[in-house]
Structure 1
Amino acid sequence: MKKRQYFIRLNIIVPIIFSCLSILTLIVTYRLTLYGLAPGQAPFSYLVIWGGFVVLFSFLAGWLISRTILKPVEAFVREAEKLPAVQQMVEEHKGRDEIARYTQVFTQITDFLSKVDARELFPEIVGQSKVMRGVLSQIMKVAPTDVTVLITGESGTGKELVARAILNHSKRRQGPFIAVNCAAIAQGLLESELFGHEKGAFTGALSQKKGKFELADKGTLFLDEIGDMPLETQAKILRALENGTCERVGGSQTISFDVRVVAATNKDFVELITKGQFREDLYHRLNVFPIHLPPLRHRREDIPILAEHFLESQETEVRLSAEAIQVLLVSPWPGNVRELRNIMERAAVLAEGGVIRPKHLTGLTVGEGDGDDELALDEEIDLDARLEDVERSLIVAALTRTGGVQVRAAELLGIKERSLWHRIKKYEIDVASMRQK
């Protein structure tokens, strides 16, 4: 018979030890008081001796417990501080107390491991910023389930890439992946495309055709730009999702399917519902697990990484100059990742001597941009927020140019190193991702 083993957690056993010590102290103090009062003398001397013993014992017990617990932690921190990526951070924050030191090292190691994990699990998605790692964490949570996912975000943020990443980490990865762009199909043909049609159902229906729901059986159906779907089709989509069945156009046979639906849109559903352009019941049926993709201007730390990634796929070997990187970092990027890819492909063709300079970044808007980054003085603007955004962009540009070396970045910006450190902390800038490997 196998012997059972029981383990008690440290956060339980340590309080128990000190609680027992308190109870023992209370009992002995009570007994000493009775002993001193019995012959009619004050028990003060007995209590002083006992109190000194309790203090000494408590100190030794606390020291022994803390040493036992913290010894492996201290060993880990010492070894971690020898790593080049952590060493620079240690030099920058010398003189801090041990708790702050441990916190900094653990934060740095956790940040590094999460980036490695993101690269290993999602090689098709390029991005190491905190906001993107949050998105990848959401994907890992929802992918193993069959829950319906709604991906929102501006055009060009990579919604189909996220949909494919969900498929690759799901139990349906061996099944079909069928993508339908609801905005690219004529209004009268979308229903036939999704549910199929029988021969002779309408003019031009020369043969029977299976719909996307039927073809995606045991797999994933990706409904892109679902915000552009006609209202009459929305009602039939809702019925199909609720029942798991559909009928081909012109047919009467009920077709069952087992499909995981992932939908995506760049539209504002609240606005569409208010205007009566999208069914609220369908929205709630799709919005079981929402994933929002941030625009590129909200993840500027990823711009240099994405730019290098797009350049690696070019026929000729080219690289970005530091000045070109600065220009890329301050651009508003209304077209997001898709716009960045096009700019890089064009710049690679125009580059001279294998180096991309600002003059090769044709078609790139620097400064004022479109959408919510446009500076329109006849509209209400938040000046403080705008100035903070500009300041953050300049700091990211300086850190990228100096390879994450904060001393050199501070010199480049004309401010003190401590002032730069406070701003980095304020804007939560990921300096580690900018350090040269």
Structure 2
Amino acid sequence: MRRRFDVSLTVLVPIIQGGVAALAVLCAEYLPRLLPAVFPGDAPMVVALTAGITVACVSSVFVYAALRPVRRLLATATPAMALPTVPGRQPMGEFDRLERVADQMAEVLGTLDARTLFPHMVGESRVMRGFFPQIIKVAGTDSTVLLLGDSGTGKELAARSIHDKSGRSNGPFVAVNCAAIPAGLLESELFGHEKGAFTGAVARKKGKFEQAAGGTLFLDEIGDMPTETQSKILRALEARQFERVGGNAALALDVRVVAATHRDLAAMIRQGTFREDLFHRLNVFPIHLPPLRERREDIPLLAQRFLEVLRPGATLSVEALQRLLAYDWPGNVRELKNTLERASVLAGEHEVGPQHLPGLAGAGPAVTGDVADTTDLDGRLAAYERSLIEAALARTGGVQSRAAALLGVKERSLWHRVKKLGIAPGAFKDAE
């Protein structure tokens, strides 16, 4: 039996480029010698036209040959991989199919980049892959960053990622929760104090600004900072120096500040509870962290990560995962982590099932509360269908053929549903 070999595109593309370049050189070398006798007056134009046509024709042959492996792959693909013709539309051409394959490759590469560059932040959804490049862009600068988002979205993890990828990564990362420190002690905690500065100050103490010298200072819940401390923070950031409480010596400020809040600072400015000038000083590079309900594709990955830490080898049933996907998570990732910790305790050595998620018993089909009341029937059915498909893909590591068998549908039917709902199966692939 004759054996057939398909050459990789990584080999064919350089060959195509080299062949076209060689052809252009040959045309430029020999055509001027052959054509002047036939077209004495228009030789330069004829040379250029002939060379262009020849290069285009030969290039087309090369490209057609290069696409042959892709055509064979698409022709022999499983129904879940096939690219069917949509009724009423023209059949997809070779370049349309190649573009679709390129898009799928970009999707996979984006997922791999997210895993490699941010190993401590679980997120392979589209919204998170739009969030990560912002971290990369600002990390290489010394600009002040303001992280905005609901409580429990992972603002401290984002701040640590900025620090780890910055030029200050060898310096300290110091985090301060401004809401957890009493107003009377916050200034001393940040700037430090001299001995005898106040009752109980029995020795000199370095503040967080000094402790973070050469590194990053993370001011969490900056919206809960008292207004009198806000003015001193502003002055320190603008002058790049500060004084300890009870001291007179000016100390150089050598920190990169990353602030975070879940509050609406614009509304606080209108109410007079947050300084507008400090807001503008902090809001140099704002980054919004999406709530968990806006990146449901990451829920299976987060659940797997948390369960693996809590009880290695623990698994989720499809029904339990569907309930996780359906819930709205007002407490975001923090709430999901706490829920799974409770579920792992209840499940013991068994698989985590819906009975181990009592707090989510009333979860609806991917929408809850007022949203569920106002969404039409088609929208609610689509949301329920999405949650079931995502749960099956998460259970099978993104393998659509196995997910289809789990759901009791044909692979081709699942493929159509995945495309219709805009689900990215690659986001559910098991991390290597």
Which range, TM-score by smaller chain? 0.7 to 0.9
Native 8 Å contact 1:303 1:329 kept in 2: yes
CA separation of 1:385 and 1:219: change in aligned 2, threshold 3 A: farther
1:351 and 2:342 matched: no
User: Which residue identity does 2:56 align to in structure 1?
Assistant: G
| Distance in 2, Cα, partners of 1:57 & 1:133 | 45
| Distance in 2, Cα, partners of 1:70 & 1:138 | 39
Native 8 Å contact 1:332 1:365 kept in 2: no
| Distance in 2, Cα, partners of 1:78 & 1:171 | 47
Written as runs of structure 1 = structure 2, the 5 A alignment for 1:54-203 is 60-68=54-62, 74=67, 77=70, 81=73, 90-93=81-84, 96-203=92-199
| Distance in 1, Cα, partners of 2:178 & 2:59 | 64
* CA displacement at 1:311 relative to structure 2: 1.1
User: Which residue identity does 1:169 align to in structure 2?
Assistant: K
1:253 and 2:249 matched: yes
Choose the corresponding residue for 1:263, options 245, 259, 264. Answer: 259
CA separation of 1:312 and 1:400: change in aligned 2, threshold 3 A: closer
CA separation of 1:71 and 1:275: change in aligned 2, threshold 3 A: farther
* CA displacement at 1:192 relative to structure 2: 1.0
User: Which residue identity does 1:91 align to in structure 2?
Assistant: A
CA separation of 1:384 and 1:131: change in aligned 2, threshold 3 A: farther
CA separation of 1:114 and 1:89: change in aligned 2, threshold 3 A: farther
Choose the corresponding residue for 2:201, options 202, 205, 210. Answer: 205
| Distance in 1, Cα, partners of 2:94 & 2:266 | 49
| Distance in 2, Cα, partners of 1:254 & 1:90 | 66
* CA displacement at 1:149 relative to structure 2: 0.9
* CA displacement at 1:112 relative to structure 2: 1.2
Native 8 Å contact 2:236 2:253 kept in 1: no
* CA displacement at 1:242 relative to structure 2: 0.8
Written as runs of structure 1 = structure 2, the 5 A alignment for 1:284-323 is 284-315=280-311, 317-323=313-319
- Name the SS for the 1:136 alignment partner: helix
1:277 and 2:273 matched: yes
CA separation of 1:281 and 1:368: change in aligned 2, threshold 3 A: farther
- Name the SS for the 1:320 alignment partner: coil
Native 8 Å contact 1:318 1:356 kept in 2: yes
**Superposition TM-score, scaled by structure 1 size:** 0.77
- Provide the identity percentage: 53
| Distance in 1, Cα, partners of 2:297 & 2:189 | 40
Q: CA RMSD in A?
A: 3.9
User: Which residue identity does 1:396 align to in structure 2?
Assistant: E
- Name the SS for the 1:189 alignment partner: helix
The higher radius of gyration belongs to 1
User: Which residue identity does 1:264 align to in structure 2?
Assistant: A
User: Which residue identity does 2:117 align to in structure 1?
Assistant: L
Native 8 Å contact 1:343 1:364 kept in 2: no
Native 8 Å contact 2:124 2:298 kept in 1: yes
**Superposition TM-score, scaled by structure 2 size:** 0.78
| 340-349 vs 400-409, greater mean Cα deviation | 400-409
* CA displacement at 1:222 relative to structure 2: 0.3
Choose the corresponding residue for 2:369, options 354, 363, 374. Answer: 374
* CA displacement at 1:201 relative to structure 2: 1.5
| Distance in 2, Cα, partners of 1:155 & 1:367 | 21
1:248-283 Cα distance to aligned partner (Å, 9 max, x none): 111111111211001111111222122221111111
- Name the SS for the 2:143 alignment partner: coil
CA separation of 1:332 and 1:141: change in aligned 2, threshold 3 A: same
CA separation of 1:383 and 1:184: change in aligned 2, threshold 3 A: farther
- Name the SS for the 2:325 alignment partner: helix
